[in-house]
Amino acid sequence: MPIPWATSGLDLHVELAGRRSRRALEEGLREAITSGRLAAGAPVPSSRSLARDLGLARNTVAEAYGQLGAEGWLEARQGSGTRVAPTPQSVPSGTSPARSRRLPYDLRPGSPDVASFPRREWLAASRRAWLEAPDPDFGYGDPAGLLPLRQQLASYLSRARGLRAEPGHIVICSGFTQALGLVCAALGPHRIALESHGLPVVRAILADAGWAIETVPVDEHGAAVGSVGDATVMLLTPAHQFPLGAVLGARRRRAALEWARGTAGFVIEDDYDGEFRYDREPLGAMQGMDPEVVIYVGTASKTLAPALRLAWLVVPAALAPPIAQAKRRADTQSGVLEQLTLAEYLRTNGYDRHVRRRRTAYRRRRDALVQLVTETAPKCRIEGISAGLHALITLPSGATEEQALALAVRRDLALQGLATFSAEGQEAAPGLVVGYASPAEHAFVGALDRLGEVLRELST
């Protein structure tokens, strides 16, 4: 039941839902923050006055403030009282019940920890690059992208991902999603082989472009490339299958390249999270094995932030002109200011340092997730943990994804089931695709605790 309160200093409406406990107060305050009613930086009443207004013990309010402070929602400043922290949680909108409202805890896949975006470094690189860029850079330019960025990427990708990349074969675009659209436009309708599980938007883009789709099953070694029918293009996520998590084995990589050579076709390599590899020896991109049959796509969406909309295609020589032309028709060129900044960030090795820092942080989170599952929910299986930013948790027998999502929403946790990523007729055992990179650092432990509660409840 909503209770509006007027205090001598500040009015604060807290939803206690009829409960008068510390937990109810914490939930009410989180709701006020995540719904945007309490904006970043907004002051909250003193614990004394809120306790008086709500009829709670002052200690109860102080403890709730303390807990929200530890989780990063609130900030206590000497002399200026308690305020909402500057970067409250925000959850992208979507279609599942969990997505229709913003939840304070989010373990859905697809996003890095955007709170870790290196704002100061990015700004410093922007400042340097923008001040030094020649005037013509601010006019219409090459649709393939700014040459200094393509040069920096060619050298970074060759060094860090094992590509054989030349600046003349690189096209800068706004995300993998645009890259795929450009390939469709440049090649014209084809028949494409897709992994049995993947991003739904990929199917939509291909269908819009009039491409025929066939499905390739995926097992623990990645896509079973030997079972491709009469497709002439194959789309793979070799570094870390999305969402099942397998790494494409060496034999299958060779087989896919042989298939492309034999059919005069192409492999599209979606290297969306290839920088994040934890357990095994670093595994280079397939493109390095045969640059003439692989259309490689990398993106800054996982290493930096999806909002940048910066990605790069490295294409066989013959495809560079038609793909650049498709880019011109799509939107003339990608924004030059972000391109200049990324070029400078790469040039000064800031990008490398940032990726290395994030790799260490995500490995720690991955370890904590594995420990949670093995120690508290042994009936669940966790897979796909050697790389990337997500893992697959298979549910105990008898449990459904709907149950898991509903239990999670009740705990203010957004989760995503595997079924949303399955091609028709390819449904696998019920599972959760857990994006352990998504929460901000301060919310990660809380998110994991809630996931643990959900898995335990499903196991009983």
Rank residues 218 and 407 by Cβ distance to ligand PLP and give the closer one.
218
Instruction: Closer to ligand PLP by CB, 176 or 362: give it.
Output: 176
In the block, which residue shows the tokens 């909250």?
A: 44
Please say which residue, 242 or 362, places its beta carbon nearer to ligand PLP: 242
Piece of the chain touching ligand PLP by CB under 6 A; list 61-69, 84-92, 170-178, 312-320: 170-178
**And the tokens for 430?**
């019920």
Q: Toward ligand PLP, which CB reaches closer, 122 or 176?
A: 176
272 binds ligand PLP, rule: CB under 6 A: yes
Site for ligand PLP in 327-356 (CB under 6 A): none
Binding to ligand PLP by residue 242, rule CB under 6 A?
Answer: yes
User: Does the footprint of ligand PLP cover residue 301 (CB under 6 A)?
Assistant: yes
Distance CA 172, CA 149 (A): 9
Least separation in angstroms between residue 277's CB and ligand PLP is 16
CB nearer to ligand PLP: give 354 or 411: 354
Within 394-433, where are the H helices? 401-410
Q: Helices in 162-267 by DSSP H: which ranges?
A: 175-187, 200-208, 250-263
Closest CB to ligand PLP among residues 272, 436: 272
Determine the Cα–Cα distance for residues 335 and 317; give it in Å rounded to an integer.
24
Buried-exposed string 168-182: b where 16+ CB fall within 10 A, e elsewhere: ebbbbbbbbbbbbbb
- CA dist 143 and 178 (Å) reads 13
Q: Supply the minimum distance, in Å, between the C-beta of residue 243 and ligand PLP.
A: 8
Q: Please give the size of the binding site for ligand PLP, defined by CB under 6 A.
A: 13
Beta bridge partners of 171: 313
- Interface with ligand PLP includes 435 (CB under 6 A)? no
Residues 303-322 that bind ligand PLP (CB under 6 A): 306, 311
Cβ proximity to ligand PLP: between 152 and 177 the closer is: 177
270 binds ligand PLP (CB under 6 A): yes
Give the residue nearest to ligand PLP (CB). Answer: 175
Least distance (Å) between residue 200 CB and ligand PLP:
11
Q: Which stretch in 31-39, 171-179, 216-224, 322-330 sits in contact with ligand PLP by CB under 6 A?
A: 171-179
Q: What are the backbone angles phi and psi of residue 302, rounded to the nearest 5°? A: -100, -30
- Least Å distance, CB 435 to ligand PLP, is 9
Nearer to ligand PLP (CB atom), residue 21 or residue 90: 90
Rank residues 124 and 209 by Cβ distance to ligand PLP and give the closer one. 209
Stretch of residues binding ligand PLP (CB under 6 A), selected from 21-29, 41-49, 173-181, 258-266: 173-181
Q: CA nearest 423: which of 263, 192, 94?
A: 192
Residue type, 30: R
- Residue where the block lists tokens 């999806």: 306
d(CA 148, CA 130): 13
Q: Which pair of tokens denotes residue 437?
A: 């990179």
Identified binder of ligand PLP from the candidate list 103, 163, 199, 205, rule CB under 6 A: 199
Q: Which is nearer to ligand PLP, 3 or 330 (CB)?
A: 330
Q: Which stretch binds ligand PLP (CB under 6 A): 14-22, 83-91, 175-183, 320-328?
A: 175-183
Q: How far apart are CA 319 and CA 308, in angstroms?
A: 25
Residues 6+ apart with CB under 8 A from 43: 10, 80, 81, 82, 83
C-beta closer to ligand PLP: residue 170 or 407 = 170
> Which range touches ligand PLP (CB under 6 A), out of 115-123, 172-180, 221-229, 244-252?
172-180
The token duo for 41 is 């930086």
Tell which one of 28, 104, 110, 181 touches ligand PLP (CB under 6 A). 110
Residue nearer to ligand PLP on the CB measure, 176 or 444? 176
Q: Verify binding: residue 175, ligand PLP, rule CB under 6 A.
A: yes
State how far the Cα of 374 lies from the Cα of 392, in Å rounded to an integer. 13
CB neighbours of 113 closer than 8 A, spacing ≥ 6? Answer: 358, 361, 437, 438, 439, 440, 441
176 near ligand PLP, judged by CB under 6 A: yes
* Terminal C-alpha separation, the chain: 32
Contact 247, 283 (CB under 8 A): yes
Contacting residues for 44 by C-beta, under 8 A, at least 6 apart:
10, 12, 29, 38, 50, 65, 74, 81, 82, 83, 84
Integer Cα distance of 239 and 386 in angstroms: 10
Interface region with ligand PLP, contact rule CB under 6 A, candidates 74-82, 116-124, 298-306, 364-372: 298-306
Alpha helices in 264-349 (DSSP H): 320-331, 336-347
Shortest Cβ 21–ligand PLP spacing (Å) = 38
Min CB(323)–ligand PLP separation in Å? 16
Please state whether beta strands 311-314 and 170-173 pair in parallel, antiparallel, or not at all (unpaired). antiparallel
Contact positions toward ligand PLP, by CB under 6 A?
A: 110, 175-177, 199, 237, 242, 270, 272, 299, 301, 306, 311
